[in-house]
Structures are given as structure tokens and as C-alpha cells.
Structure 1
């Protein structure tokens, strides 16, 4: 259901999203549009809310542990 079936790619997307959120929160001297762009970038990387990202991680983990069909 979710985009990446690779756990490594999923974790890298989450790490990049955390970096964007941190940047958006700590860059108080930056203009508002740049901070908003960082927040939107984080949402795009998470493909929604953090709960959606965690659900996708759980599904990728379950798919990895499931034996192949056939």
C-alpha cells in the first residue's frame, strides 16, 4: 500500500524528514516561506503525518518477514 518496500529507503526518508522539521523549527531567522517549504518538504517525505510513515514502516517490515507467495 505504501510507496517504498525497502526498509532502508523508508528509514532514509524518515531521517530526511526529521532534518527538514528540525531545520524548519530552528531556523527562526529565515524568512517564513523558506521555513514553510522545509515543513512541506518534511510532509512530502513522510507522505503525510508521522503516523502514516510509521504504518508504512510496519508494513514494509511485515512484507520483508513474510515468505514469498508461490
Structure 2
């Protein structure tokens, strides 16, 4: 693994960097940022349960098992996709996936709105 970052042309013109630091281009939601969402809400909640459980277990078991219990902490952070905030961002992305739409005009101004099918008539 060389750690090299590749670039490709994005949909709206600017280059999108893909490398070890980027988890995805956010193509599913039309964005250019990292994508921390899971395929489904139950899967994401399970990922959080495993992640937070492993981090808490690693710290709680420290007096009982010793320093070896700290091996659970990196596993928990991996399940959370880096940090608790990354998991929360992924939760928001998982919930909003398919419900919001990002549209960018030619002048570079972007807006976020509900998809047409999500807008209720009469409201």
C-alpha cells in the first residue's frame, strides 16, 4: 500500500480526492464529503452497540483483566468508523438517506431539499 491519493473529476467539476482518508465520495446523497452511513438503520444501530460496547468494555474491564482489555478499544473505534461523532454523523446520514436531495446550480450554489416523493401534499 503506497498511501497515494487518487483524484477523479466530480459530477460538478471539482476534483474529488479518493484515498485512505476518504471513506467515500458521498455520491449516494449528492455530496462531496465522507459517507459514514450504513445500509440500513438496524445495521447502523448494531454497529453502534458493538462499538460503544467494546470501548466501554475495554475501559470497564481494565481493573479485572489488565491492560489486555484495552485491545477492545481499537475494535470499538473501528466499529464506530473512527469516533463516536463519526457514528452520530453516520446515524444522521442513514436516517436521511433517500429523503433529502442536494442540487447544485452551474454558478456553484447548492441547496438541500426534500425529495419530491417525501413532500406531503397540502403542507
Q: What's the TM-score, normalizing by structure 2?
A: 0.49
- Structure 2 gaps, min length 5: 1-34, 101-114, 116-123
How many residues of Structure 1 are paired with residues of Structure 2 in the alignment? 67
Structure with more strand by fraction: 2
C-alpha distance in 1, partners of 2:64/2:84?
26
Is 2:112 the counterpart of 1:53? no
Higher-helix-fraction structure:
1
Please list every run of at least 4 consecutive aligned residues from structure 1 whose deviation after the TM superposition is greater than 4 angstroms: none
* Structure 1 runs not aligned, ≥5 long: none
Question: Which structure is higher in RCO with an 8 Å CA cutoff and minimum separation 6?
Answer: 1
State the TM-score, normalized to the length of structure 1: 0.80
Question: How big is the shift at 1:3?
Answer: 5.0
Q: CA RMSD in A?
A: 1.9
